[in-house]
C-alpha cells in the first residue's frame, strides 16, 4: 500500500506521461516485493519456531513434533 501511494504521488508530482509503464510495472513490482517479504518471513518464522520448541525441552519426540507443528501453523496463519 505504501509502495503504491508513493508511486502515485511521484507520478502526480513529476507528471509522468507514461501510463502503460505504470499499468504494467506497478502490479509486477508490488507482487515481487510481496513475494520477497513472504519468503523471508517464512524463513524467519521457521527458524523461530524451531528455536522456541527447543527451549521447551519436550520429553518425547511426539510432543516436540506436535509443538513444532502448532508453532509453524500459527506463524504461517
In this prediction, residue 53 carries a pLDDT of 93
Q: Do residues 71 and 49 make contact, with C-beta atoms less than 8 angstroms apart?
A: yes
3-state secondary structure 15-67: CCCCHHHHHHHHHHHHHHHHHHHHHHHHHHHHHHHHHHHHHHCCCCHHHHHHH
DSSP 8-state secondary structure symbol assigned to residue 77: -
- What per-residue confidence (pLDDT) applies to 63? 94
Predicted confidence at residue 30, as pLDDT, reads 77
- Whether the predicted model's global pTM rises above the 0.85 cut: no
pLDDT digits (tens, 9 = 90+) for 27-39: 777 788 889 889 9
Percent above pLDDT 70 for the chain: 77
What's the rounded Cα separation, in Å, for the pair 68 and 52?
Answer: 8
Amino acid at each position: 500500500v505504501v509502495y503504491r501511494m508513493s508511486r502515485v504521488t511521484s507520478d502526480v508530482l513529476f507528471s509522468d506521461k507514461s501510463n502503460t509503464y505504470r499499468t504494467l510495472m506497478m502490479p509486477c513490482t508490488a507482487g515481487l516485493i510481496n513475494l520477497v517479504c513472504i519468503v523471508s518471513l517464512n524463513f524467519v518464522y521457521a527458524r523461530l519456531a524451531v528455536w522456541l520448541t527447543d527451549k521447551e525441552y519436550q520429553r518425547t519426540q511426539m510432543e516436540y513434533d506436535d509443538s513444532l507443528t502448532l508453532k509453524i501453523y500459527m506463524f504461517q496463519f
